[in-house]
Amino acid sequence: MRRWLPLAAWLAAVALAAAFWSTDRLSYDGNRAENELVQNGISSFVRAALTSEIDYGSNYESRDRRENLALVADALARGGGEFTRLPEGRLDRAFPARAGGLGRLNVVLVSSESFGAEFSRLYGSERDLTPNFDAFAREGLWFPNAYASGTRTVRGLEAFATSIPPIPTVSILRRPGFEHVATWGAVMRSLGYETSFQYGGYGYFDNMNAFFGDNGFDVVDRRSIDRVRFANIWGVSDEDLFDHALGYLDRVHAGGKPFFTIIMTTSNHKPFTFRDGLEAYGIPPEGGGRAAGVRYADFALGKFLRDARGHAWFDDTIFVVAADHGARVYGAAQIPLRTYEIPLMMYAPRHLAPRRVDGLVTQIDIAPTVLGLLGLPYEAPFFGQDALRTPEAGRVALFNHNHDVAIYRDGRLVVFGLNKSVETFRYDASTDRYSPAPRDPELERLGVAYFQTAYDLFEEKRYLPSAPRGRVAELRRP
């Protein structure tokens, strides 16, 4: 027994050092990749485990809550709406019905796995990996300046569903208190829509089923899909998922209500295996790597949109297609913005004329933008803005990567890290180059206001569905 005592003492010392000695002290320059390699090890592992739900105010730059709320409210006011609960410390805004809105159209959001902008010719790629997305985007609203909130699926779904900034370090889908938060689905249900989340894999992954189920969505996952051409470790093929979704939406439509659904694909993911018969499209059954994955995701998307034309609900549906995140994170920057660029389009040929929308837009802006297109009256505490009606000048994008969060505006990026660190960079998007910049107190204050307010509202269970005037938002099915 005694021979184990030295080992136990050594393990205890390592655990204490890992818990209380910051791995950030190993960061010796501004190169994110080199710093992460240097920090890798037991200390980083234990620290990550201990800081998955850290206290924001103790670890990140923080300010007075009332000042934060005022700053965020002032920024959001540029997008319209009437604040209804500011005295309660909430950001709920009421939007009246808009003359000229499209009305109660169905909404289908396709969240395409790892479908980064780098693969699309529309976004500058030299390879023609996404001909279907590119063709449909030219026929609808195309957003060439769109960004993801983070680098994982759970961050994309968080942004789409809740329009909340990506607070460090864990998505709210996986945090205690995820039940009954404000969501796009809650808004749509208050407007009489049937809402659903459809996923080709098993939804216990990343707590998807629990989150969406407890926030007013019907949940469809791998267990519900019985007609399967091909499946791998991640789930059924995108074709199978889309075919099942078409049948599901037919049944909802037959019930007489409009629908809102989020469809999360899986196929563009290692091990990049696919059914036989697609070799002519550059998609071998295996061994094709990321290029085959992107080609298949695009092939299945195009087939889905063309097949949808034969369904009774197609003419009265807005299709939104966006990536959950880019394919990979690379580069030395702490927030490598080029890898956050995602494709985004909105397609409804009977209702939306082709148009290029050049302003900055992020995933948290998608819900307010679609709601603005519909023009229906609603109330919600969303942090995102209507990208078609908010002035382009001065827009911000909010990002997360590991334990860092950042705010970007007009070529300046402010990164907030553990130990209350704050760094400012100039970013040249044309060359993808960063350079250290003098501190920008105004942008720092705004960034702190966004992230700290989002954290406070969620942790204190005040990021809640608004109660529409005259009725209560329905969160659960009877």
Q: How many CA atoms lie within 13 A of 61 on its CB side?
A: 20
Residue 169 is predicted with a pLDDT of 85
pLDDT, the chain, mean: 89
- Categorize the per-residue pLDDT at 3 as very low, low, confident or very high, splitting at 50, 70 and 90: low
What's the rounded mean pLDDT across residues 66-71? 98
Taking only the tens place, the pLDDT of each residue in 216-230 is 899 999 999 999 999
Other Cβ atoms within 10 Å of 335 Cβ, number: 27
What's the rounded mean pLDDT across residues 61-73? 98
Instruction: Classify residue 373: in a domain, yes or no.
Output: yes
Q: Is residue 201's pLDDT more than 50?
A: yes
What's the rounded mean pLDDT across residues 316-338? 88
d(CA 133, CA 142) in angstroms, rounded, equals 10
Inter-residue contact 173 to 154 (CB < 8 Å): yes
Instruction: Classify residue 105: in a domain, yes or no.
Output: yes
Q: Is residue 9's pLDDT more than 90?
A: no
Residue 253: both structure tokens together = 């439509």
Q: Is residue 26's pLDDT more than 70?
A: no
Taking only the tens place, the pLDDT of each residue in 142-197 is 999 999 999 999 999 999 999 999 999 899 999 999 999 999 999 999 999 999 99
Give the count of domains, the chain: 1
Residue 443 is predicted with a pLDDT of 98
Residue 12 is predicted with a pLDDT of 53
Q: Is residue 6's pLDDT more than 60?
A: no
Instruction: Classify residue 364: in a domain, yes or no.
Output: yes
What's the rounded mean pLDDT across residues 337-358? 97
What's the rounded mean pLDDT across residues 246-259? 98
Q: Is residue 361's pLDDT more than 60?
A: yes
Instruction: Classify residue 120: in a domain, yes or no.
Output: yes
Starting at the edge strand that comes first in sequence, how are the strands of the sheet with 93-95 ordered?
82-83, 93-95, 378-380
Taking only the tens place, the pLDDT of each residue in 424-455 is 999 999 999 999 999 999 999 999 999 999 99
> What is the Cα 278 distance to its own chain's centre?
30
Residue 38 is predicted with a pLDDT of 44
Q: Are strands 82-83 and 433-436 parallel, antiparallel or unpaired?
A: unpaired
d(CA 209, CA 223) in angstroms, rounded, equals 12
Instruction: Classify residue 41: in a domain, yes or no.
Output: no
What's the rounded mean pLDDT across residues 454-468? 91
Inter-residue contact 155 to 149 (CB < 8 Å): yes
Taking only the tens place, the pLDDT of each residue in 33-46 is 444 444 444 444 44
Residue 433: both structure tokens together = 């180059």
Inter-residue contact 190 to 374 (CB < 8 Å): no
Q: Is residue 469's pLDDT more than 50?
A: no
Inter-residue contact 118 to 336 (CB < 8 Å): no
What's the rounded mean pLDDT across residues 100-117? 98
Phi, psi of 67 (to 5 degrees): -65, -45
By three-state DSSP, how is residue 230 classified?
Answer: coil
Amino acid present at 31? N
Instruction: Classify residue 8: in a domain, yes or no.
Output: no
Residue 178 is predicted with a pLDDT of 95
What's the rounded mean pLDDT across residues 360-372? 98
Q: Is residue 18's pLDDT more than 80?
A: no
d(CA 398, CA 439) in angstroms, rounded, equals 18
d(CA 112, CA 192) in angstroms, rounded, equals 27
**Better-scored residue on pLDDT, 379 or 11:** 379
Which CATH number characterizes residue 106's domain? Answer: 3.40.720.10
State the DSSP string of 114-181: T--GGG-GGGT-SS---HHHHHHHHTSEE-SSEE-SSSSHHHHHHHHHH-----SSS-GGGSTT-TT-
- Categorize the per-residue pLDDT at 54 as very low, low, confident or very high, splitting at 50, 70 and 90: confident
Q: Is residue 383's pLDDT more than 90?
A: yes
- Categorize the per-residue pLDDT at 328 as very low, low, confident or very high, splitting at 50, 70 and 90: confident
**Better-scored residue on pLDDT, 108 or 54:** 108
Domain that holds residue 170: 82-396
Percentage of residues of the chain with pLDDT beyond 90: 83
Instruction: Classify residue 214: in a domain, yes or no.
Output: yes
Q: What is the pTM of this model?
A: 0.88
Instruction: Classify residue 414: in a domain, yes or no.
Output: no
Residue 42 is predicted with a pLDDT of 47
Burial class (CB in 10 A: 0-12, 13-18, 19+), 130: buried
Amino acid present at 66? R
Q: Is residue 78's pLDDT more than 60?
A: yes
| Interior/surface letters 25-42, b for 16+ CB within 10 angstroms, e for the rest | ebbeebebeebeeebeee
Residue 47 is predicted with a pLDDT of 45
